[in-house]
Every structure is written in C-alpha cells, then in structure tokens.
Amino acid sequence: MKVCTDSCLFGAWVASRIESVSLCPKTILDIGTGTGLLSLMLAQKSNASIDAVEIDTNAFEQATENISASPWKERINLFNIDIKKWNTPLKYDLIISNPPFYENDLLPEDDGRNISKHSAALNLEQLLFVVKKLLSNDGMFAVLLPWHRTAVFENLAMQHSLFIKEKLDVRQTTAHNYFRTILLFQNHETITSANEMSIKDDNDQYSTGFRNLLKDYYLHL
C-alpha cells in the first residue's frame, strides 16, 4: 500500500495539535490503520496508548511489520478485525480515520484496494456511528476526506451531535481546487476554526506550511 502525501499531512496536522496541547490524549483509536502510518506518527508525538484496527489481512500484516520495527511498538496495539464487530469497553480521547473514498465510483478489480479506497466495508454513516459509540465525552475525532464529500459528512456528523472544532481545506498548489479536507470534531458545540493549505507553492516547491508540519517526518525537507 502506498504512503500518500495527504495521509502524511493528515497525521502531521493531528500530531501538531497534540504538540500544541490542544489535544492531550491518553488513548487513541486509529480506524483503518492501513500501513500503520498514522499510528506511528501520533506515537512519535504523544505518550498515548494506541489501538489500531484494520480489516484487510494484507494491510494488517504490513502494519504489524512496520510497527514491530519502530521504537513505539510497545504502545501500539494492532487488531485485524472489522471495526463494526469490535467490542471494547474503552472510550477514546482521540479517534482518527482516513476512511474509504470513492463511494459512488467504479470499483477496481483488486479486493484489497476495494477495501482501502471504497465504502464497501465501512461507509461514512457507519463510521460516525462507531465514533460516537467509542469517543469519550471530552474526546476529539479527526478525519481526512475528499473535499467534495465534506459537506455531506458535516451534515451526517451533525445528526450524530458531533461538532466541528477545526477544518483545514487542502489543495495541491494555489492554482488547484481543494481536493482534501481535514476535520476535527468534538461532542460539544463550539466555534469552528477554518483554514486552508497548499502542499506546494507557486514555484512547485513544498509550501512553508507543509514543510513546518512534515519536517519531523520527511528526511529531506
């Protein structure tokens, strides 16, 4: 499975909130961990205990290999299971997810890619139901979405009494339209802080904002 730039940005953005002490989680749940990327990034910037759940066996095995080779393996617990069938008594301080994309698009032939990029295994409504059940009262939920699905997700979240604390619209360059949105939700009504970021600047170089977020993770920034 590829490690995508937008996923790296998402992990770094959430981790920056932990560093700034706007988030101080003791427990984190990573829904659909894939390669384990997000769990590893958050483990680097927190002391939290992290549960990472992945339904696809091949992705789970890759995440297991990656996490086992890391300095944070004692704090990351991996589970190869459908999150909808997972029973735990825990309520999490922070839940993160880079959920299935392309709900209405043509499915590719490869089953693993079907699961990782589509809503066949977990649609957005089901994701919100799981989040609401497992999120602590003062907890936060961070999600990365295609920009064109953001409005629909915001409306669904409102129906589950989840309210936007922060929102970041992301585009490839200043000449492009937005293609991803990062959202941070909480259980209580709040004033939303909305911002935007371009991954690259007008000179086709990584932007200052992107560099500041990713410098602790990318070797050549």
- Going by pLDDT thresholds of 50, 70 and 90, the confidence category of residue 101 is low
What would the mean pLDDT of 193-210 be, rounded to a whole number? Answer: 95
Q: CA-to-CA distance for 186 and 140, rounded, in angstroms?
A: 5
160-193: b or e for each residue (b if 16 or more CB lie within 10 Å)? bebbbbbbbbbbbeeeeebebbbbbbbbeeeeee
Q: What is the pTM of this model?
A: 0.90
Is pLDDT above 50 for 91?
yes
3-31: b or e for each residue (b if 16 or more CB lie within 10 Å)? eebbbbbbbbbbbebbeeeebebebbbbb
Is pLDDT above 60 for 103?
no
Q: In what order do the strands lie in the sheet with 163-171?
A: 76-79, 49-53, 27-31, 92-97, 135-146, 178-186, 163-171, 193-198
Give pLDDT, residue 108. 42
What would the mean pLDDT of 62-66 be, rounded to a whole number? Answer: 96
The percent of residues above 70 in pLDDT, for the chain, comes to 89
Q: CA-to-CA distance for 148 and 119, rounded, in angstroms?
A: 15
100-117: b or e for each residue (b if 16 or more CB lie within 10 Å)? beeeeeeeeeeeeebbbb
Q: Which residue has the higher pLDDT, 122 or 136?
A: 136
CATH number for the domain running over 5-214: 3.40.50.150
Is pLDDT above 90 for 1?
no
